[in-house]
Amino acid sequence: MSIHKEGRSILLVLLIVLLIINIGIHYINVSNTGIYIFHLFSGALFLCVLQFFRNPVIDIVVNPKHILAPADGKVVVIEEVEEAEFLNEKRIQISIFMSPVNVHVNRNPVGGIVKYIKYHPGKYLVAWHPKSSTNNERTTIVYELSDGLQILTRQIAGAVARRIRWYIKENDRVDQGQEFGFIKFGSRVDVFIPLNSKINVTLDQKTKGGKTVLAELK
Kindly list the catalytic residues.
187
Binned at pLDDT 50, 70 and 90, residue 145 comes out as: very high
pLDDT tens readout for residues 58-113:
889 999 999 999 999 999 999 999 999 999 999 999 999 988 788 888 999 999 99
- The residue-averaged pLDDT of 7-18 equals 84
Domain segments of the chain as ranges: 2-55, 66-216
Q: Quote the pLDDT of residue 167.
A: 92
Percentage of the chain lying above the pLDDT 70 cut: 89
Contacts of 58 (CB under 8 A, 6+ apart): 177, 208, 209, 210, 211
For the segment 148-156, the average pLDDT, to the nearest whole number, is: 94
CATH architecture of the domain formed by 66-216: Distorted Sandwich (2.70)
Q: What is the pLDDT of residues 158-176, one digit of tens each?
A: 655 557 889 999 999 999 9
Residue type for position 124: Y
CB neighbour class for 18 (10 Å; exposed up to 12, middle 13-18, buried from 19): middle
> Is the Cβ–Cβ distance between 136 and 158 less than 8 Å?
yes
pLDDT band of residue 191 (cuts 50, 70, 90) is very high
pLDDT at 150 over 60: yes
d(CA 57, CA 123): 33
* pLDDT score, position 134: 61
Burial class (CB in 10 A: 0-12, 13-18, 19+), 112: buried
Q: What is the mean pLDDT of residues 117-130?
A: 70
For residues 54 and 77, is the Cβ–Cβ distance under 8 A?
Answer: no
